[in-house]
Homo-oligomer: A and B are copies of this chain.
Amino acid sequence: MILSDKRSIARLVDICHQMGVKELVFSPGSRNAPLVISFVESGLFECLCIPDERTAAFFAMGMAIQSDRTVAICCTSGSAALNYAPALSEAYYQGVPLLVLTADRPVEWIDQGVGQSIRQNNVYANYIKKSFEFIQEASKEEDIAANDEISIQALQACQSGFKGPVHINIPLKEPLYGTTLYKETVELPLATNHNADVIKLDFDRLGGLWQKCSRKIILFGMSKPDVELQKLFQYWHGSGQVVILTETSSNCYVDGTIQTIDRLITGIENDAESYRADLLISIGSAVVSKKIKALFLRNKPSYHWHVSEDTAKDTFRALTDYIPMDALSFLDKLSNLVSPNEKLFQDKWLGYNNQLKLKHNEFVESCAWSDFRLFSHLLNAIPKDAVLHMGNSTVVRYIQLFDPREDLQYYGNRGVSGIDGCSSTAMGLSYLSEKKNVLITGDIAFYYDSNAFWHKHRPPYLRIILVNNEGGSIFRIIPGPSSTDQLDTYFEAHQKMNARHLCAHHRIKYMSAADESEYQECISAFFDDEAGIKLLEVKTPRQLNDRILADYFEYIHKE
């Protein structure tokens, strides 16, 4: 291979290849030339080019979520690197492996009046799993070896335990464009043994508690689909041993269990004690429902175990054990133990859930055109086996109110829950996906991230539903802002616009529906099999949406 004549760069390419990196997203620049030349010329990687680094990083994150591989991103020096920051914070809290390669000016020229330079070393300090800096212009064997070690450690850190973004800052001297024949092979050390067995758990005590507690709840946050876990939960549910609470983003369809926490909780609050767990086990990452957090905070379980390779999270201020393992390995051990079967406790939860489900269906039947009604239609219309991307923040909250579909895979940026990269992430994930992908997004999130479409990398199939309620409708829903004079301007960011011209600019096929009948007319044509991106903008009544949602909660919870 003809690679950069900077030996550590050529060896980084070799190491990335050997350690399973297959895709890179570059943003144009000059300082990163040795990296561009080497990765592209090697022919070993799919190399994309996305000019806006903010988009590039979210796009790469989407690719990494889909492929379960580390995706590398690479940019030039200066503020370019800072545009990665929003996506890195999301990847950090969501546990997505990204290798961040920032080219830098030579260290001796930082803060010396040379252009396009900032202090890049460890610049992502608060939201990066690990951060390294290459020895500049390494040529001595010991320096080459030290840089190899950085490359290897960085990729190991990306991919091990709770995954995440890792940064290598790479100071580079001119000339940047020299190449040479690469004839080496980096010898990787034997893989470090990250065996879960080394974790010392007092399993006797935990198993004892599991057998003692008769009111057990498992709360399942965001997760990728996991068939084995799903089977286990279906078994526990069937045998009445445990109450299983999931959200759509748990991607764990357990027939008959509670999958719509948010519509349930309000009614429980008045009779909280009889719903109280003695043992709560939380697994997965972020939970969308704020109500469940509030309930468990006020009505604490006697024991709370958090099972995760991430860090201990005491979300309910009741944490008794933190179990740093993957959930399946741990829960599987428990499943061998006989545990009490307090059917009454499960019946209480499930009975109430079924009651609300009936009322939910009644309300859906009769409610007026609104965000709520649109979602009730949409969630049936989405093609079979699709991946559903839920935009922040109104969209993902509405979707939690409806029973999940077993055939769908649900995804949302719930690490930090920003609106900044919903479209870019959906673009990146669907770019590598063989399924049909559907993004439902609000208008503020959509316009915020319109650079998601400013590049040449088109996913095979993406449909975008743009819910145009003329602003950030979340602020009409949550209590507080709706009572202030500043609602329109500073919270909701009320705007009247449509996406027609923007879609023309980005060569996205555009359709629109001003009301329910127009929606009904076009929805099946919209979800046709044609490849590429289409967008359907659906107008909903801004001033009515929040009232109908309030009516909904009142209706399902009234006696």
Contact surface of A with B, Cβ cutoff 8 Å: 26, 28-30, 33, 36-37, 40-41, 47, 49, 51-52, 54, 78-80, 82-83, 85-86, 89-90, 92-93, 111-123, 125-127, 175-177, 221, 285-288, 290, 293, 311, 313-315, 414, 416-418, 420, 444, 447-448, 450-451, 454, 472, 474-475, 478, 480-481, 483-486, 489-493, 497, 501-502, 504-505
Contacts and interface: CB of A to CB of B under 8 A. Distances in A.
Contact of A418 (B79, B121, B315, B489): B79
B420 A79 contact: yes
Contact of A491 (B28, B118, B484): B28
B501 A113 contact: no
B51 A444 contact: yes
Given A51-B493, A118-B127, A450-B451, A79 B416 contact: yes
Copies in the complex: 2
22 contacts: A28-B475, A30-B491, A33-B491, A36-B490, A49-B489, A49-B493, A51-B448, A54-B54, A79-B85, A79-B420, A89-B118, A92-B118, A114-B315, A115-B286, A115-B417, A119-B127, A123-B126, A177-B484, A450-B451, A501-B505, A502-B505, A505-B505
A79 B91 CA distance: 11
B176 A480 contact: yes
Contacts of A492: 28
Contact of A481 (B177, B285, B416): B177
Nearest to A74: B490
A447 B502 CA distance: 12
Contacts of A122: 126
A210 to B, nearest CB: 22
A450 B450 contact: yes
A79 B83 contact: no
Given A450-B450, A480-B177, A315 B113 contact: yes
